C-alpha cells in the first residue's frame, strides 16, 4: 500500500474515533444533566454513635440531595476520628461538634483554618440533676398530688431526702448517678460533698446509660419520686416531663475547686471542611441557617425511641413535623423540591 493510501486510511480512522468520543462525551453529558447528581461532588457526613447526630445528618442530607442535587454519604466513627476526618477532607460535614469534648484539637484546627465553624446546631445542651415534674406540680390526669411543691434548688434537697429513701441505706436518700467511669459520675460525687448533701444522700452508681434511663422510666410510669443526674437532648427528656434542680450559676473558679456550681454550658456547632465553601457554597449557606431547638431534639429522639425506628425515619418525621422550621433554612425553590420528595414518602 502506498504512503498516500496510508495517510487517507489514517485520516478516516482518526475521524471515526473523533466522532465516537464526541458522541460518547455528549451522551455522558446528557446523562449528567438528566440526573443532576453526577455533576456535583459527593458530600460526606460524619456519623457518630449517638442518635441525635445521626438524625441531624439525615435531615441535612435529605435537603442536600433532594433540594440541591448533591449525592451524599455517611462515614461512621467516634468523636475524635470523625473530627480528624473533617481536617483531612474525608468528611465534609460534622453536624454535632461537641466542642468541649475536643477543645484543644478544635481550637487549634479553627485557628489554622483547617475547619470552618458554621454556628450552633441547637442551644446549649444542659446537664444536671433532675426530678419528675409531677413531684412539684402534680399530675391531675394521673391523680398525682404534688409531694414536694417547694423543691426547686439544692438548698431544698435536705428537707425532702425522705422521699428518695435508698433501699440499701434507708437513713439517706438515693441520688441516681451515672455509670462508673463517666467523668460526670465523679463530678456528681464532688457536687454532693460541695453542697453538704452527703449527710442526706448517697450516690448510687448505675450500671449503664440504659440502666439510668430505665430507672427514670420505671419511676415515672409508676408516678414515684426519682432524683438523679441526666442531660439533654435525649429521648428521656422528650418523653417525660422532668425538672432540673437549680444550682449556683457556673463559675470557673468554683468549678475548678470542688464542682460546687452548675455544669458549664455545652456548645454544639456545625463544623465543615473549608473546601466545602468552594465546592458547595449553597450548602454552606443552608447550614449557616440550620438551627434547631432543644425541645425539637428531645421530641425526635422520643419519637425514635417510642416507634423503634432508625435515624432516617426520625429525620423524615422531623421534616414533616416542622416544615415551618426547615423552610427558613433554604430558598423557596429548594424547599419546593424537598416537599416534593417528602410527599412521595408515606
The three-class DSSP label of residue 3 is: helix
pLDDT of residue 38: 56
User: What cell was used for 197?
Assistant: 448533701
Q: What is the pLDDT of residue 100?
A: 84
Strand locations in 88-172, DSSP E? 93-98, 116-125, 127-132
Separation between Cα atoms, residue 325 and residue 321, nearest integer Å? 9
> How distant is the alpha carbon of residue 176 from its chain centre?
25
Q: Average the pLDDT over 73-92 and give the result.
A: 94
Report which of residues 223 and 38 the model is more confident about: 223
Is residue 35 very low, low, confident or very high in pLDDT (cuts 50, 70, 90)?
Answer: very low
Arithmetic mean of pLDDT, 196-204: 97
Distance CA 123, CA 75 (A): 25
Report whether pLDDT(20) > 50.
no
**pLDDT 10s digits, 163-191:** 999 999 999 999 999 999 888 999 999 99
pLDDT band, very low/low/confident/very high, at 25 (cuts 50, 70, 90): very low
Q: Where are the beta strands (DSSP E) in 152-299?
A: 173-177, 201-205, 228-231, 242-244, 266-272
CA distances from 122 to 228, 277, 321, 331, 338 (A): 24, 22, 17, 21, 22
With bands split at pLDDT 50, 70 and 90, how would you rate the model's confidence at 7? Answer: very low
Percentage of the chain surpassing pLDDT 70? Answer: 89
The residues that bridge with 144 in the sheet, in sequence order, are 139
Strands 43-47 vs 72-76: parallel, antiparallel or unpaired: parallel
Q: Is the confidence at residue 21, as pLDDT, over 60?
A: no
Are the C-beta atoms of residues 320 and 342 closer than 8 Å to each other? Answer: yes
**Backbone phi, psi, residue 169, to 5°:** -135, 75
pTM of this structure: 0.81
Task: Report residue 286's pLDDT band, with 50, 70 and 90 as the boundaries.
Answer: very high
Give the model's pLDDT for residue 112.
Answer: 95
Residue 12: predicted pLDDT? 41
Maximum pairwise Cα distance, the chain: 112
Whether the CA torsion 278, 281, 283, 289 is positive or negative: it is positive
Q: Report how far residue 195's alpha carbon sits from residue 198's, in angstroms, rounded to the nearest whole number.
A: 8
| pLDDT on residue 101 | 83
SS (H, E, C) 67-81: HCCCCEEEEECCHHH
Tell which wins on pLDDT, 11 or 50: 50
Q: Is the pLDDT of residue 28 over 60?
A: no
Q: pLDDT tens, 264-278?
A: 988 899 999 999 999
Query: How does strand 127-132 pair with strand 173-177?
Result: unpaired
Distance of alpha carbon 227 from alpha carbon 166, whole angstroms: 11
Mean model confidence pLDDT for the chain:
89
Amino acid at each position: 500500500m502506498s504512503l498516500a493510501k496510508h495517510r487517507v486510511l489514517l485520516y478516516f480512522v482518526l475521524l471515526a474515533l473523533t466522532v465516537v468520543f464526541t458522541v460518547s462525551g455528549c451522551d455522558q453529558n446528557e446523562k449528567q444533566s438528566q440526573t443532576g447528581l453526577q455533576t456535583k461532588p459527593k458530600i460526606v457526613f460524619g456519623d457518630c454513635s449517638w442518635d441525635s447526630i445521626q438524625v441531624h445528618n439525615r435531615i441535612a442530607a435529605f435537603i442536600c440531595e433532594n433540594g440541591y442535587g448533591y449525592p451524599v454519604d455517611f462515614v461512621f466513627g467516634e468523636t475524635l476520628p470523625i473530627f480528624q476526618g473533617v481536617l483531612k477532607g474525608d468528611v465534609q460535614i460534622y453536624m454535632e461538634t461537641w466542642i468541649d469534648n475536643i477543645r484543644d484539637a478544635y481550637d487549634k484546627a479553627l485557628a489554622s483554618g483547617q475547619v470552618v465553624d458554621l454556628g450552633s446546631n441547637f442551644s446549649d445542651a444542659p446537664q444536671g440533676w433532675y426530678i419528675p415534674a409531677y413531684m412539684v406540680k402534680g399530675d391531675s390526669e394521673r391523680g398525682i398530688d404534688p409531694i414536694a411543691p417547694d423543691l426547686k434548688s439544692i438548698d431544698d434537697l435536705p428537707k425532702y431526702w425522705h422521699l428518695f429513701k435508698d433501699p440499701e441505706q434507708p437513713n439517706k436518700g438515693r441520688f441516681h448517678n451515672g455509670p462508673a467511669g463517666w467523668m460526670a459520675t465523679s463530678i456528681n460525687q464532688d457536687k454532693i460533698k460541695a453542697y453538704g448533701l452527703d449527710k442526706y444522700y448517697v450516690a448510687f452508681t448505675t450500671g449503664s446509660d440504659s440502666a439510668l434511663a430505665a430507672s427514670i422510666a420505671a419511676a415515672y410510669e409508676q408516678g414515684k419520686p426519682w432524683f438523679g443526674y441526666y442531660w439533654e437532648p435525649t429521648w428521656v427528656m422528650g418523653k417525660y416531663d422532668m425538672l432540673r434542680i437549680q444550682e449556683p450559676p457556673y463559675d470557673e473558679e468554683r468549678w475548678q475547686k470542688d464542682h460546687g456550681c452548675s455544669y458549664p454550658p455545652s456548645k454544639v456547632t456545625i463544623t465543615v471542611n473549608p473546601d466545602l465553601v468552594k465546592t458547595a457554597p449553597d450548602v454552606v449557606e443552608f447550614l449557616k441557617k440550620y438551627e434547631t431547638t432543644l425541645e425539637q431534639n428531645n421530641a425526635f429522639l422520643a419519637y425514635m425511641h417510642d416507634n423503634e425506628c432508625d435515624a432516617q425515619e426520625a429525620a423524615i418525621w422531623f421534616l414533616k413535623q416542622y416544615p415551618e422550621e426547615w423552610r427558613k433554612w433554604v430558598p423557596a425553590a429548594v424547599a419546593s423540591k424537598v416537599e416534593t420528595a417528602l410527599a412521595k414518602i408515606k
